[in-house]
Amino acid sequence: MMFKKALLNDIPFIMETINFAKDNLKRMEIDQWQSGYPNESTIKADIEAGHSYLYYENNEVVAVLALLFGEDPLYHVIEEGQWLTNQRYVSIHRVAVVEGHLGKGVIGRVFNLTEQIAQDHDCHSTRVDTHPDNKSMQRALEKADFKYCGHVFMANGDLRYAYEKVFSTN
């Protein structure tokens, strides 16, 4: 298991994976990612900022995601709750599992590896948000010992449930 920073030539593969996730969300009648976001320019900006990663198992990419180490503007304001810590954290965004790998525990392993790498970046927790109707992601977060902290709002005003996991060792 390993992360590798995505490159611009990875955009077609990342978009294929994102579009697969969008189709799955639509099938489950979840309106997350149904209005054009994330799109190619979002992914390009992630790559140029050094936030876009490919997650590998057995020399095969099985998930894509964005990791932001340190302050994340989306998480400056949380409502109807509070974060578990005010220390440095990593946030996970735009995580999607490659077709053929759903239901195999990939997300849990992504969370575990993120925690290991985050500690190398002097982070004390992981923060993530998800759509209120995305029950499968909520279950994955709870299974990985994330705690529901409240809700945040996307730039477009959409509500998201906010979760955090504080690392047991640093």
pLDDT tens-place string over residues 106-153: 999 999 999 999 999 999 999 999 999 999 999 999 999 999 999 999
In the structure encoding, which two tokens stand for residue 145, read together?
């010992």
- Place 36 in a pLDDT band, splitting at 50, 70 and 90: confident
Classify residue 111 as left (phi > 0), alpha (psi -120 to 50) or beta: alpha
pLDDT at position 169 over 80: no
Average pLDDT over residues 3-14: 98
pTM tops 0.85, yes or no:
yes
Domain ranges across the chain: 2-166
Question: Whose CA is closest to 166, among 151, 139, 147?
Answer: 147
State the pLDDT at residue 170: 46
CATH 3.40.630.30 fits 2-166, yes or no: yes
CA 155 to chain CA mean position, Å? 16
- Residue 103, CB half-sphere, CA atoms under 13 Å: how many? 3
Rounded to whole angstroms, the Cα distance separating 159 from 131 reads 7
- Place 62 in a pLDDT band, splitting at 50, 70 and 90: very high
pLDDT at position 48 over 70: yes
Q: What percent of the chain has pLDDT over 70?
A: 99
**CB burial of residue 55 (10 Å; 0-12, 13-18, 19+):** buried
pLDDT tens-place string over residues 65-115: 999 999 999 999 999 999 999 999 999 999 999 999 988 999 999 999 999
Give the ranges where 86-147 is alpha helix by DSSP (H).
106-120, 135-143
- Place 1 in a pLDDT band, splitting at 50, 70 and 90: confident
